[in-house]
Chains A and B, each alone.
Chain A
Amino acid sequence: MALLSKKDTNLITDPLADNNPITIQVLGICSALAITAELKASLVMAVSVMFVLGAGNVVISLMRNIIPSKIRIIVQLIVVATLVIIVDQVLKAFAYELSKTLAVFVGLIITNCIIMGRFEAFALANGPWRSFLDGIGNSLGYGVILIIVGFFRELLGSGTLFGIPVLGDPIEKTGLYATGYENNGFMIIPPAALIVVGIIIWVQRSRNPALVEEN
């Protein structure tokens, strides 16, 4: 027997493509704009969200039958806040420099629409295993976009990937910089992320016209 049934596999694969939280549902845009100037920050953000959403979905799913529906938002917030604080503290302990780059945005995972959205839409109505898969799937879908955006913004904006110069050294003027290449400052500022996400949405919808909304 396969590890995952077909239905369960879809929980992971759907958000990667045709039901992507960022490009299709247009959730979680704020953090995609703010922290994708560097690939490393994007990756850490993706992993953090994966932890929070995966664990949070399981917790909410386990509690789903005992949460009074009138106060469910408060309960959800407490669960997210707890998990986010764990992530924040871990980052501060083991990757202090990085946590300074991410600054307030780790804390702002609490307000990431994807998380509350999945709690409401999925975890409250499904068992823990399926909720876990759903959480992982959605955070993967989120992370993929973050990493694509981070890749292009860091490569074109600073000429580096994970902080390693790949387009030649701008100070020593080797590689491309010697021939007059300049870093594209536009890619560093947040509007560039909006445009890169826009281009991803454009490519995705022209490959699959079924995704295009009707006017």
Chain B
Amino acid sequence: MSLKSKLHELKLKYQGKKMAPAFNAFHTFLFSPDETTHAGGTHVKSADDLKRTMNTVIMALVPVLIFSMFNAGYQHYSAINGFPADFSLMNDFLTWDNFWIGIIKVLPLVVVSYAVGLIVEFIFAVIKGHEVEEGYLVTGMLVPLIVPVDTPLWMLSVAVVFGVVIGKEVFGGTGMNILNPALTIRAFLFFAYPTWMSGDKVWVYGARERSEEILAGANVDAISGETILGYLAQNKGAEMTYSVSDMFFGFIPGSVGETSAFLILLGGLFLIFTKIASWRIMVSAVIGSLVMGLIFNQVVDFGWVGESSKFYGLMSFDFWKHLIVGGLAFGIVYMATDPVTGSQTNKGKWYYGFFIGFISVMIRVFNPAYPEGVFLAILLMNVFAPTIDHYVVRGNIKRRMNRLKNATIYPKDSDGKAEELKAETV
């Protein structure tokens, strides 16, 4: 007897019982069920169900995840031994040593994120008597990619429980949430445990332990794991040794999966061509961030902000480079395009995306505590998305009402055309 039929029998056996959704979830997750809609019912012909949508996003995330596992090790060893003078992709980056660090540091984050999140989902499915919702499949993958590599696992679990319950389940589950759950989790971590989420000790595995050893009197070199935005926020841009290609391909410290703009770009293109994510949001968010970056560059060019200003470092940063450092690219491609929390109307998506890019760069420059603002900008626009849609819809109705008011409606009694029309139709 195959696993499929076994699960099917279990499902029938527990039908109507409290645990039914749990078995059902396993069954439909692993296999495509035998049941079909009864004859005469609704026929859904598209195979693009929620599960497939989610899986497509995960496929777009897998290259980022694998890269981040290598990068975790690369940053760790580079911080200890210094960056390789003559960088070669195969010898310095894609090595087993690097990947092993990824396995012990990044993989547990993924496993814990999924395990905790799915347990919460199962509990809620059983309480509500619903099917288990697939919403967590993507969230569970996004969460480990947007936290620092040294995040303790218990902290991640607490945040995931909070994010899934308060960010999603209280509103009625997948599809009903107003805030992106992954970003709710990130924001919770940021406000709850700021020392683990910012500074120069969290982005590279080992930096925190090293600094504690040094405090205890050990004779080792400190690891500096400052992010590029961190350097700039302290006006230390000149000390940075990263080249533009490092930034673009992602050989820089940062949250686990946010570093490689190149792979994120590929993922974004994949999502656009599979029509899973909205290109309007991505394009307008890129435009928004470029506009804000240009404004800041101009302010510096006009001499309104001098080198002594604490905003100088980030304001003078070339506007287009904002896209390849920090979490902006990742946020735009995977977070802003969340179909549930984003704007629904095409016109609204342009505004929604534009302001995400615009506000992200603005928060980056002006946030005194933490030189990154993508997650805050997206959460803010999540809240405004329904308002944007409301005004887009109102605007459309108003335009059409005006058109109706000015239109000449045939047949008019006094009009000669009425008779013509009648003659034609009769």
Contacts and interface: CB of A to CB of B under 8 A. Distances in A.
B192 A180 contact: no
Nearest to B196: A182
B154 A185 contact: no
A189 interface: yes
B192 A186 contact: yes
A114 interface: no
Contacts of A186: 188, 191-192
A108 interface: no
B193 A185 contact: yes
A33 B338 CA distance: 31
B152 interface: yes
Nearest to B159: A186
Nearest to A181: B154
Interface residues of B, number: 13
Contacts, number: 22
Contacts of B166: 195, 198
A76 to B, nearest CB: 37
Interface residues of A, number: 10
Contact of B194 (A180, A185, A195, A198): A185
A198 B169 CA distance: 13
A185 B191 contact: yes
B172 to A, nearest CB: 12
Interface string A166-188: 00000000000000101011110
A189 B194 CA distance: 13
Interface in B99-154: 152, 154
A185 B155 CA distance: 12
Contacts of B194: 185
A195 B179 CA distance: 14
B269 to A, nearest CB: 37
Contacts of A187: 192
8 contacts: A182-B193, A184-B192, A185-B191, A185-B193, A185-B194, A186-B188, A186-B192, A202-B170
Interface of A: 180, 182, 184-187, 189, 195, 198, 202
Given A185-B193, A198-B166, 9 more contacts: A180-B152, A182-B155, A182-B193, A184-B192, A185-B194, A186-B191, A186-B192, A198-B170, A202-B170
